Amino acid sequence: MSRFILSRRTFLTTSAAGIAGVALSGCDQFDSVLRTGHPVRDFMMGANDVTMGAQRALLGREALAKEFSESEIRQGQRPNGSTDPNSEEYLALRANDFADYALLVDGLVEVPARYSLAELRNMPSRTQITRHDCVEGWSCIAKWTGVPLAHILDEVGVRSNARYCVFHCFDSLGGGFSRGPYYESVDMLDARHPQTILAYGLNDEALPVANGAPLRVRIERQLGYKMAKYIRRIEVVDNFAQIHGGNGGYWEDRGYEWYAGI
Ligand SMILES: Nc1nc2c(c(=O)[nH]1)N[C@H]1C(S)=C(S)[C@@H](COP(=O)(O)O)O[C@H]1N2
Ligand SMILES: [Mo]
């Protein structure tokens, strides 16, 4: 985490200097936004929201992660974290090649739904070659194929008060100080980002168990730990205070940043 925390701190220092500079230069337009109590200022100054707000303001909300060519794929996607879930439920699905798997999508949606792997594979698909950056300090370029999460959200109909998608996984980890189920969450901007896909394919093959079979999410503008593998359920919520440790993810409950933008 140190690299990320450092860059976040550096960014905060430099952006604070930038804001001060703008205010001193007497630019009315910015000055009004920076007024105490202005919603934009309050949002930007909210502890964990600062990098998110600032990065999106700078790069644009829909900016795409870099995509690579086939020749830049140098190795298989390095498996990390859980690589072989052993819950009874998962082992039973795996034994049958996930023929009985169904993704549950529920929460703040008009029509909760279940999708088999065959149904997911029949939906519009997107293939992208992207670089996966793990907080531990390694990267891998790989080709991912899956259904855009936006497509699923449109099918189930997201309610107007929905703010986050929570990904619930089949596996548990013993990392940090306590064992618990892996889960993650993103806001609706990342959920609907054009490169956010529920991937069932990796490098032109079915997604291997080590990399999250049968379904894992790609969140290409964030670090690897956001990209939940072994997804069993997507819950649409307006807050995640009551979910597990309340911080929006397995690693977040153990001290990592919720927004891991890169
Ligand atoms: N369910 C689940 N998802 C997970 C993890 C995990 O342990 N369990 N590890 C995360 C981390 S830290 C990384 S870097 C990536 C690794 O994905 P890969 O195994 O395909 O390389 O998955 C992420 N998603
Ligand atoms: Mo990671």
**Phi-psi label, residue 97: left if phi above 0, alpha if psi -120 to 50, beta otherwise:** left
> How much distance in Å is there from the Cα of 201 to the middle of ligand 1?
15
Residue with the smallest CA separation from ligand 1 atom 24 is 228
Residue with the smallest CA separation from ligand 1 atom 8 is 82
pLDDT of 101 over the 60 cut = yes
pLDDT at 232: 98
- Read off the pLDDT of each residue in 239-248 and give the average, rounded to a whole number: 97
CATH of segment(s) 64-254? 3.90.420.10
Beta strand extents in 149-230 (DSSP E only): 164-173, 180-187, 197-202, 205-206, 216-218
**Phi-psi label, residue 244: left if phi above 0, alpha if psi -120 to 50, beta otherwise:** left
pLDDT at 142: 98
- HSE-CB of 26 using CA atoms within 13 angstroms: 0
Cβ partners under 8 Å of residue 77, min gap 6: 132, 140, 142, 202, 203, 211
Atom of ligand 1 nearest to the CA of 83: 19
Q: Please provide the size of the chain in residues.
A: 262
Tell me how far apart the terminal alpha carbons of the chain are, to the nearest angstrom: 13
Tell me the percentage of the chain whose pLDDT exceeds 90: 74
Answer yes or no: are the C-beta atoms of 149 and 121 closer than 8 Å. Answer: no
> How much distance in Å is there from the Cα of 134 to the middle of ligand 2?
4
pLDDT at 164: 98
Helical packing angle, 49-59 and 2-24, nearest 10°: 70
Q: Nearest ligand, CA of residue 210?
A: 1
- Read off the pLDDT of each residue in 172-191 and give the average, rounded to a whole number: 91
Q: How many CB atoms lie within 10 A of CB 222?
A: 22
pLDDT at 29: 39
pLDDT of 13 over the 80 cut = no
Tell me the percentage of the chain whose pLDDT exceeds 70: 76
- HSE-CB of 134 using CA atoms within 13 angstroms: 12
Please name the residue that has the structure tokens 């990399």: 211
Q: What is the spatial distance between Cα 6 and Cα 181, in angstroms, rounded to a whole number?
A: 28
More confident residue, 240 or 6: 240
Residue with the smallest CA separation from ligand 1 atom 10 is 225
Mind listing the pLDDT tens digit for each residue in 14-66?
A: 344 333 333 333 333 343 444 454 444 444 444 455 566 666 555 665 799 99
pLDDT at 61: 59
Q: What is the spatial distance between Cα 74 and Cα 203, in angstroms, rounded to a whole number?
A: 11
Domain boundaries, the chain: 64-254
Phi and psi at residue 165, in whole multiples of 5°? -105, 125
pLDDT of 71 over the 90 cut = yes
pLDDT at 19: 38
Of the pLDDT bands very low, low, confident and very high (cuts 50, 70, 90), residue 93 is very high
- Pairing label, strands 126-134, 138-148: antiparallel
pLDDT of 252 over the 70 cut = yes
Answer yes or no: are the C-beta atoms of 166 and 108 closer than 8 Å. Answer: no
- Read off the pLDDT of each residue in 106-125 and give the average, rounded to a whole number: 98
Q: What is the spatial distance between Cα 157 and Cα 127, in angstroms, rounded to a whole number?
A: 24
Residue with the smallest CA separation from ligand 1 atom 2 is 229
- Read off the pLDDT of each residue in 98-102 and give the average, rounded to a whole number: 98
Least confident of 33-42, 105-114, 155-164, 188-197: 33-42
Average pLDDT, the chain: 85
